[in-house]
Each structure stands twice: as structure tokens, then as C-alpha cells.
């Protein structure tokens, strides 16, 4: 069921599910959703998944979720579609029984991945058609030539569609041997390597690639793709010479960030000061559809909330608290990306990754780097809002 009072957003989400041949029921608010859910319980026809907008008019999505859980009205997974005013409540979601969340406006690929994870679908989004009405949330710095080693057809199609949406060129091979053959014929910017493949698996292929590279000093970024998310697998990947590790179902944000980070070309003329590179009034306002009120509301949430998140990061470092480190860094990553500050988002993502890996080396320095970016962003945002037509900025 999709529960959203915004007709356009509700229809887009419903269409996405229908494209997957999933039966969809839509509700425009809490009262209607309660009626439908109660009747489904009477009819013994439960829903598999509930997508709830956090900002419903009658009572917010959180209240609806609490009612659903407290009344045991449905055992369906709950995905909360968060608006910026509710961003600070994100850490509470797990305690409330909400299984996943994402920040609106949400890109199609991100929503697809969350739905797939909740429904236990791997690669079922392969045949989705493009939706031009959805604004692309992720914009790569440049077009890349990417080699994908994956033997499952659905996964091949899903990854290929995703990469092409990011304007990358893609070659698909089905095992390690074909990977080595492809690299002899053409130059690639990065390899996405499944671990379990016939004839030659991803680890064997990576070892062969690294052995060959020792003769001419090159280094091709290789990212492992695996359905298993255990630390022993990650250790084996790194020992084989892989640069990073992504579990399936694929987290779209993580894949994008990883590709960008591993293929970035250093700019010797770049300003290394703590300025939020690429942020300007026109691009930022465009990201908020030219709505100054919406932009100011988001900035106010950011200014009031980021000191707490930074304090949480520092406390997590002192106490070696991986969960808090992951949660706080993930929240900051989402905020930074929506505010068009990719360098800071990458720093937050790196901290999130350290938390997931249980690595606390250099965390203090990484937090300091992120704080520098955020401090500069604070100043820049205040300056942008000070130029708002007819109104002063934030004090």
C-alpha cells in the first residue's frame, strides 16, 4: 500500500510498483489507510509492504505507523518516506518498528533498492522503464567505461540499467575468464566483480589482474559484488586486491559513491580550503524547485540539527559505538547530498563505512574534516539566504 497525500508522488510510487507487477492499493491519508488496513485484516488479505509519507495532513506518518504496529493490524514491512522537518526523528524509526526509510524527494533507483531489500528481491527491477518525470538525484562527475562481471541475468540487467542512467558505458561478462579476456581487448575505468561465478570466480580473477599489473605499475579499481554481507568475505576481497565491497541487493547510493570515489581524477588546481565546492545559489535553489520557503525550512533544520549529529559522531568515536557512528554519518550524508554538497557527503559516507566495518582508525581526523566542510557550508547557506528577495537570512 502507498499512503501519501500528494497525488503526484503517490501516483509515481504506485506506478513503480505496478511496473514490477506488484498489486498496488493507494490511500491519500491516515483515515483512509486505516479503513483499508482494517478491512484487509477482516478479509485475511494482508499487505506485504506499506510506504508511508511522514508528513500526512490528518496525523503524521509516524502516528499512523505506531497505530499499525500497536494494533497489530498488519505484519507488512513499513518504509517511511521522510520529509526534511522529520529528519531529526530518523534515529527513532527502528525503535518504532519501521523497517526502512528514505528522504524525499527520492530517486527511482534508491526507492527501487529499498523496496527490493524489504521484499527480498534480487535484481527484479531489471525491466523497469525509465520515468522522465522523476528528477535524477545522482549525477556522475564524468562518463566512465565500466566492466561488469556478473553471471545472473537479472542482476546484469539491473546493474546495466542503473549504470546507463548515470551515463556510463557498460560491458557485461559472465565469469572471471571473460573478465580477463575483456581487459586484454579494451581499457576500462573500473570493474564491478561478482564473487561467485562459474569457471573462474571474482577473487581468482582479481588476483590474476593484480599479478599482471605488477609488470607495468597500473591499478584498475575493482569493486566486489556479493550476496553475502559478512566480515570474512570483505577480508577475502581486500586480501585479493579489491578496492571495495558492496553487498546485494545493491545500495544505489553506495554504488554511486564508490564508483565516484575510486575513479575521481585529482585536480591539481582545486581549492583545498574548506569551501563546499560546487554549491551556488542557482543550483541549490533549482534543487528545491525554486521554492525559497522550502529551502529556508530545510536550512533551518540543518542548522539546528547538525551540531547534535556532530556531537554524536564524536561521542561514537570516544565510545567506539559503531551503531551511532553509522546512524549519524548516514543522516549527515543524506543532508549533504540534498544540499548539493558532494564532497561533504563523501566524507560522511566514509565515516559511515568505517562504522559498518568496525574501524575506528583515523575517525577523529575524518570527523574534523567533515566538520570543516559543514562549518563552511553553514556560512555559505546563511549567505545565500541573506540574498533571498524581500527577506533577510537566518541569524
- Cell numbers linked to 175: 565469469
**What pLDDT is recorded for position 143?**
92
Q: Does residue 269 have a pLDDT over 60? A: no
* Peptide bond just before 59 cis, omega within 30 deg: no
What are the tens digits of pLDDT across the range 67-123? 888 877 766 788 888 765 555 565 667 777 787 887 766 655 666 677 777 665 544
Q: Looking at the domain assignment, is residue 125 inside a domain?
A: no
Contact 114, 102 (CB under 8 A): yes
Do 149 and 257 reside in the same domain of the chain?
yes
Q: How many residues does the chain have?
A: 395
Domain boundary among 263, 289, 314: 263
Q: Looking at the domain assignment, is residue 188 inside a domain?
A: yes
**What pLDDT is recorded for position 237?**
81
Do 289 and 342 reside in the same domain of the chain?
yes
**What pLDDT is recorded for position 245?**
82
Q: Does residue 7 have a pLDDT over 80? A: no
Kindly give the pairing relationship between strand 169-173 and strand 145-149. parallel
Q: Is 324 exposed, middle or buried (0-12, 13-18, 19+ CB in 10 A)?
A: middle
Q: Per-residue confidence at 274, pLDDT binned at 50, 70, 90?
A: very low
Q: Looking at the domain assignment, is residue 202 inside a domain?
A: yes
| CA angle 244–140–379, rounded 5-degree value | 100
**What pLDDT is recorded for position 189?**
95
Do 169 and 242 reside in the same domain of the chain?
yes
Do 79 and 159 reside in the same domain of the chain?
no
Q: The CATH number of the domain where 289 resides is what?
A: 1.20.120
Alpha helices in the chain (DSSP H): 7-19, 30-42, 61-70, 93-96, 108-119, 153-165, 176-185, 202-213, 231-240, 252-263, 281-287, 292-319, 322-338, 342-357, 363-386
β-bridge mates for residue 190, sequence order: 146
Do 253 and 288 reside in the same domain of the chain?
no
β-bridge mates for residue 149, sequence order: 173, 193
- Which of helix, strand or coil describes residue 258? helix
DSSP string, 74-100: ---EEEEEE-GGGGGGGGGHHHHT--E
Calculate what percentage of the chain has a pLDDT beyond 70.
76
**What pLDDT is recorded for position 173?**
96
Phi-psi region of 265 (alpha: psi -120 to 50; beta: other; left: phi over 0): beta
Do 112 and 203 reside in the same domain of the chain?
no
Do 246 and 287 reside in the same domain of the chain?
no
Q: Looking at the domain assignment, is residue 54 inside a domain?
A: yes
| Average pLDDT value over all residues in the chain | 78
Do 55 and 107 reside in the same domain of the chain?
yes
Q: Per-residue confidence at 131, pLDDT binned at 50, 70, 90?
A: very low
Q: Compute the distance between CA of residue 206 and CA of residue 228 in angstroms, rounded to an integer.
A: 18
**What pLDDT is recorded for position 17?**
65
Do 311 and 255 reside in the same domain of the chain?
no
Q: Looking at the domain assignment, is residue 25 inside a domain?
A: yes
Q: Looking at the domain assignment, is residue 99 inside a domain?
A: yes
- Cell numbers linked to 245: 565491497
Q: Looking at the domain assignment, is residue 184 inside a domain?
A: yes
Calculate what percentage of the chain has a pLDDT beyond 90.
16
Domain count, the chain: 3
Q: Which domain holds residue 339?
A: 281-386
The alpha carbons of the chain give a radius of gyration, in whole angstroms, of: 22
Contact 329, 348 (CB under 8 A): yes
Cβ within 8 Å of residue 164, ≥6 positions away? 170
Q: Does residue 238 have a pLDDT over 60? A: yes
Q: The CATH number of the domain where 38 resides is what?
A: 3.40.50.2300
| CA angle 37–39–44, rounded 5-degree value | 95
What are the tens digits of pLDDT across the range 168-192? 999 999 999 999 999 999 999 999 9
Strand order in the sheet with 222-226: 169-173, 145-149, 190-194, 222-226, 244-247
Amino acid at each position: 500500500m502507498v499512503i501519501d497525500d500528494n497525488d503526484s508522488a503517490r501516483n509515481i510510487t504506485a506506478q513503480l510498483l505496478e511496473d514490477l507487477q506488484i498489486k498496488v492499493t493507494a490511500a491519500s491519508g491516515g483515515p483512509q489507510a486505516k479503513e483499508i488496513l482494517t478491512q484487509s485484516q477482516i478479509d485475511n488479505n494482508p499487505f506485504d509492504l506499506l510506504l508511508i509519507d511522514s508528513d500526512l495532513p490528518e496525523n503524521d506518518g509516524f502516528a499512523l505507523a505506531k497505530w499499525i504496529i500497536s494494533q497489530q493490524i498488519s505484519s507488512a514491512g513499513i518504509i517511511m518516506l521522510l520529509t526534511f522537518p522529520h529528519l531529526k526523528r530518523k534515529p527513532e524509526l527502528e525503535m518504532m518498528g519501521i523497517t526502512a526509510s528514505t528522504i524525499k524527494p527520492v530517486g527511482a533507483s534508491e526507492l527501487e533498492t529499498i523496496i527490493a531489500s524489504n521484499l527480498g528481491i534480487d535484481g527484479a527491477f531489471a525491466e523497469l522503464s525509465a520515468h522522465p518525470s522523476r528528477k535524477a538525484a545522482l549525477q556522475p562527475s564524468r562518463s566512465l567505461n565500466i566492466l561488469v562481471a556478473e553471471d545472473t541475468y537479472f542482476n546484469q540487467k539491473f546493474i546495466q540499467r542503473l549504470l546507463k542512467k548515470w551515463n556510463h558505458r557498460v560491458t557485461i561478462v559472465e565469469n572471471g575468464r571473460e573478465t580477463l579476456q575483456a581487459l586484454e581487448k579494451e581499457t576500462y575505468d573500473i570493474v564491478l566483480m561478482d564473487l561467485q561465478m562459474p569457471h573462474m570466480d571474482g577473487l581468482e580473477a582479481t588476483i590474476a589482474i593484480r599479478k599482471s599489473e605488477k609488470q607495468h605499475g597500473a591499478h584498475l579499481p575493482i569493486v566486489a559484488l556479493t550476496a553475502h554481507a559478512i566480515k570474512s568475505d570483505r577480508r577475502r576481497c581486500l586480501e585479493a586486491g579489491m578496492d571495495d565491497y558492496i553487498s546485494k541487493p545493491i545500495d544505489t547510493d553506495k554504488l554511486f559513491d564508490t564508483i565516484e570515489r575510486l575513479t575521481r581524477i585529482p585536480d591539481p588546481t582545486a581549492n583545498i580550503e574548506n569551501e563546499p565546492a560546487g554549491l551556488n545559489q542557482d543550483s541549490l535553489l533549482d534543487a528545491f524547485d525554486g521554492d525559497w520557503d522550502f529551502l529556508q525550512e530545510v536550512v533551518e533544520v540543518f542548522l539546528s540539527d547538525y551540531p547534535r549529529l556532530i556531537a554524536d559522531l564524536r561521542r561514537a568515536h570516544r565510545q567506539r559505538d559503531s551503531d551511532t557512528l553509522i546512524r549519524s554519518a548516514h543522516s549527515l550524508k543524506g543532508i549533504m547530498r540534498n544540499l548539493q554538497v558532494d564532497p561533504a557527503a563523501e566524507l560522511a559516507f566514509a565515516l559511515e563505512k568505517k562504522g559498518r566495518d568496525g574501524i575506528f582508525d583515523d575517525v577523529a581526523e575524518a570527523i574534523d574534516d567533515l566538520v570543516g566542510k559543514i562549518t563552511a557550508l553553514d556560512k555559505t547557506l546563511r549567505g545565500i539566504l541573506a540574498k533571498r528577495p524581500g527577506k533577510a537570512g537566518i541569524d
